[in-house]
Amino acid sequence: MFRVGIITASDKGSKGEREDLSGKVISDILERKGYIVEKYIILPDNEEDLSREMIHMSDDLKVDLILTTGGTGFSKRDVTPEATINVCDRMAPGIAEAIRYYSLSITPRAMLSRAVSGIRKDTLIVNLPGSPKAVKEALDYIIDSLHHGLEILTGRTGECAR
């Protein structure tokens, strides 16, 4: 099965001032689907730290998928998309677009998401929203397609046709 890294971007969460419910939602959903969570970490909203951890998970741990939560809004401290763009070799905009499209059917505030998705070497990186509810909705919506994309990316299948 696929190996995953989870990164929560949260100044308060990294200091222990707020419980990270979103990261736990991601972990629970993935484990139920048979994914292996290799690493789960909470980091402050710092572009350099986030990029460094994505590189570590991709290049050293060789996870197949990195899911981030938080840091995708309009606050000056929200830098998860920039950190993700910095480390990706190729972008995969359809994933973030699909999440926004689906989320807009729930709330018009979804248009405020700056989330991105891309590929670093053999690792897919996807920015998810910050709230537990939005994380669950987004991940439930994309998980089956993500699975197929990971099969293609990792060479486990080469067939896209149904």
pTM, 2 dp? 0.96
User: Can you tell me the distance from the alpha carbon of 24 to that of 90, in angstroms, rounded to the nearest whole number?
Assistant: 28
Q: How far is CA 3 from CA 33, 37, 76, 77, 116, in A?
A: 12, 6, 32, 29, 20
Tell whether the model's pLDDT for residue 160 goes beyond 70: no
* Domain boundaries defined on the chain: 3-153
Q: Give the pLDDT score at 49.
A: 98
Note the CATH number of domain 3-153: 3.40.980.10
User: Can you tell me the distance from the alpha carbon of 81 to that of 161, in angstroms, rounded to the nearest whole number?
Assistant: 31
Q: Give the pLDDT score at 139.
A: 98
Average pLDDT over residues 6-28: 97
User: Can you tell me the distance from the alpha carbon of 103 to that of 79, in angstroms, rounded to the nearest whole number?
Assistant: 21
Average pLDDT over residues 32-42: 98
Tell whether the model's pLDDT for residue 159 goes beyond 90: no
pLDDT in tens, 58-111: 999 999 999 999 999 999 999 999 999 999 999 999 999 999 999 999 999 999
* Token pair in block for residue 25: 């939602």
Confidence of residue 161 (pLDDT cuts 50, 70, 90): low
pLDDT in tens, 98-149: 999 999 999 999 999 999 999 999 999 999 999 999 999 999 999 999 999 9
Tell whether the model's pLDDT for residue 8 goes beyond 80: yes
* Token pair in block for residue 39: 């690493």
Confidence of residue 157 (pLDDT cuts 50, 70, 90): confident
